């Protein structure tokens, strides 16, 4: 069966420090990978998605970047964190593009607090 791992679970970082969140998927090949941010009591905002190695689409211009160095590895990064980057970050995968009715499978998220 497929599993998704996301770490760390919580992170406290000072303003201006770099960020690296990692996500890996097991048990599937060539997954579609996503990074979302969830604000408290609100929906999920898509940050980045990837349909293959080295292929990254950014949905919202911001202080973050993403990379996919391997088929089942997705990394969310920042060179200098802002206070507004605080939030709950979720990695997800889907076997097909969402247009074809493919559900998303989420990791357990990273709670990031920028101080």
Partner 1 sequence: DAKTTQPPSMDCAEGRAANLPCNHSTISGNEYVYWYRQIHSQGPQYIIHGLKNNETNEMASLIITEDRKSSTLILPHATLRDTAVYYCIADSGGSQGNLIFGKGTKLSVKP
| Interaction site with partner 1 (CB under 8 A) | 6, 34, 36, 38, 41-46, 49, 59, 90, 92, 97-109, 111
Minimum CB distance to partner 1, residue 80 (Å) = 25
d(CA 72, CA 28): 8
d(CA 25, CA 72): 5
Question: In Å, what is the CA distance from 60 to each residue of 35, 36, 82, 101?
Answer: 11, 11, 16, 23
Give the nearer residue to partner 1 in terms of CB position, either 26 or 59. Answer: 59
Minimum CB distance to partner 1, residue 64 (Å) = 15
Give the nearer residue to partner 1 in terms of CB position, either 73 or 105. Answer: 105
How many other C-beta atoms lie within 10 A of the C-beta of residue 109?
Answer: 19
Give the nearer residue to partner 1 in terms of CB position, either 34 or 74. Answer: 34
């Amino acid at each position: 069966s497929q599993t998704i791992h996301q770490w760390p679970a919580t992170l406290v970082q000072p303003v201006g420090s770099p960020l690296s969140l990692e996500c890996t998927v097991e048990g599937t090949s060539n997954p579609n990978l996503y990074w979302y941010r969830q604000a408290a009591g609100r929906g999920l905002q898509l940050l980045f998605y990837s349909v293959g190695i080295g292929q990254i689409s950014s949905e919202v211009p911001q202080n973050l970047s993403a990379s996919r160095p391997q088929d089942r590895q997705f990394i969310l990064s920042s060179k200098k964190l802002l206070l507004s980057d605080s939030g709950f970050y979720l990695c997800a995968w889907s076997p097909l593009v969402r247009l074809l009715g493919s559900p998303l499978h989420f990791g357990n998220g990273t709670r990031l607090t920028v101080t």
